[in-house]
């Protein structure tokens, strides 16, 4: 089973000052579907969602290289202040 750090999704969304509906629209999923990803309760195929996160934001949620950091594929897909913030963010266990 492919795991991902669902907390990152909420952090990204809030950093961009987007609502759940805004983020869902950007990713091409329903708000209800987006909420399942953000809450870590998604039971469906995640490849589409992960590919959309990479295409839209340049962030790979599948990477397990360092579970305490966000993995960027393309940092230019985010506004520079948001990229800087997310790049330096260290994710702690809750």
pLDDT, tens digit, for every residue of 16-44? 999 999 999 999 999 999 999 999 888 76
pLDDT band at 66 (very low <50, low <70, confident <90, very high): confident
What is the band of 85 on the pLDDT scale with cuts at 50, 70, 90?
very high
Of 3, 27, 10, give the one whose Cα is nearest residue 86.
10
Q: In the structure, what pLDDT confidence band is assigned to residue 2 with cuts at 50, 70 and 90?
A: very low
SS3 track for the chain: CCCCCCHHHHHHHHHCCCCHHHHHHHHCCCHHHHHHHHCCCCCCCCHHHHHHHHHHHCECCCCCCCCCCCCECCHHHCCHHHHHHHHHCCCCCC
Q: Which long-range contacts (CB under 8 A, 24 or more apart) does 75-81 make?
A: 78/16, 79/16
pTM for this predicted structure: 0.82
At 6, the pLDDT band (50, 70, 90 cuts) reads confident
CA distance 12 to 35: 14
Write down the mean pLDDT value for the chain: 86
């Amino acid at each position: 089973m492919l795991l991902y750090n669902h907390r990152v999704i909420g952090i990204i969304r809030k950093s961009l000052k987007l609502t759940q509906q805004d983020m869902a629209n950007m990713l091409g999923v329903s708000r209800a579907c987006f909420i399942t990803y953000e809450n870590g309760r998604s039971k469906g195929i995640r490849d589409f969602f992960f590919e959309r996160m990479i295409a839209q934001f340049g962030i790979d949620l599948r990477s397990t290289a360092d579970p305490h950091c966000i993995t960027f594929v393309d940092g230019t897909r985010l506004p520079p202040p948001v990229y800087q913030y997310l790049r330096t963010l260290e994710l702690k266990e809750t």
